[in-house]
Structure formats: structure tokens, C-alpha cells
Amino acid sequence: MTASKRIVLSSDHAAIALRQAIAAHVAEKGWEVVDIGPTTPESTHYPLHGHAAAEKVASGDCALGIILCGTGQGIMMAANKVPGIRCGVCSDTFSARMIRQHNDANILSIGARVVGEGLALDIVDAYLDAEFEGGRHATRVEMIEPTD
Ligand code: RB5
């Protein structure tokens, strides 16, 4: 399968069960899922998992990513430190659709202690089923990355 249909998933310990539910759901939608864990419940550090997923996307190995921690906030902050990554935290389907349509977000972050599984799967659908609109939004997205 080409990278255009490959998606990386990662989380910290707070979101393992939801990440695994999302992995199954995304695979059912026809994506090749690269789930980089973790799989065991020991406490871990969300920046490690945010950076690892972001590198998969920034390198072109995966087209998109979905990352999770308790709030979705810390892992999002870590992912956004990797050049080329545009990651937003979403707790509603409108935002999930818009970060793809207007911001060309290449990673979605979700808080496992914020939303339940049903809403999380709807958020994932809204994100994956949307498309970047380009045009004036492309100009703005190009301006996000700082220039020297
Ligand atoms: C872990 O307890 C928690 O701090 C983490 O999952 C996340 O919410 C951080 O942003």
C-alpha cells in the first residue's frame, strides 16, 4: 500500500485502549495502520510518542497520524515541534473536519480522558473523510512554518 493510505497511531499510557479501538476502526476504513504503541500500561512520557509519530509523518512514511494522551494536549505540543507537522486537538467533529479542510492538519490529537469512544470514532471519521480545500487556505498554511 502507498504512503497515501498509511496512517501512524501512537499514544501514552493514558490512551492505550482508545488508541487500539481507533486503530481497528481506521483499518476497517481501508487505511494501513502503523501502530507504534505503547502496548503495555506502564507510565510513559507523551513527548516520546508525539515525536515518534510526527517523525513518521514528516518523513513521508505515513500520510497522516492520530495521537492520543489523557487530554490530547501534551502529545499535540510535542508533535508540533517537528518541522512540517500541523497537529490539532479535537473534541468535536466540526473542529476535526475543519483542521483538515482549512489547516491541512497532518496529525489529529484526541484526549482519551476527554471524549468517549463513540465520539472519538466520529471525530476520526470527520477528520479522515475531509479534504484540504487549498486556495486561500494554502497561502495561510504555508505561513505557519516560521521562516528565518
Ligand atoms: C498523563 O497523566 C497525562 O499528563 C498525559 O496523558 C496528558 O494528558 C498530557 O498532556
Per residue, what are the HEC states of 4-53?
A: HHEEEEEECHHHHHHHHHHHHHHHHCCCEEEECCCCCCCCCCHHHHHHHH
Which of 49, 51, 69, 90 is catalytic? The answer is 69
- The answer on pLDDT for 1 being more than 80 is no
The CATH number covering residue 74 comes to 3.40.1400.10
**Domain total for the chain?**
1
Mean pLDDT over 33-46 rounds to 97
How confident is the model over 81-113, as pLDDT tens digits?
A: 999 999 999 999 999 999 999 999 999 999 999
pLDDT tens column, 52-77: 999 999 999 999 999 999 999 999 99
Res. 147 pLDDT band, cuts 50 70 90: confident
Parent domain of 67: 3-144
Ligand 1: centre distance to CA 83 (Å): 23
Question: Of all helices (H) and strands (E), which one includes residue 107?
Answer: strand 107-111
Predicted confidence at residue 146, as pLDDT, reads: 86
Is 90 annotated in the active site? Answer: no
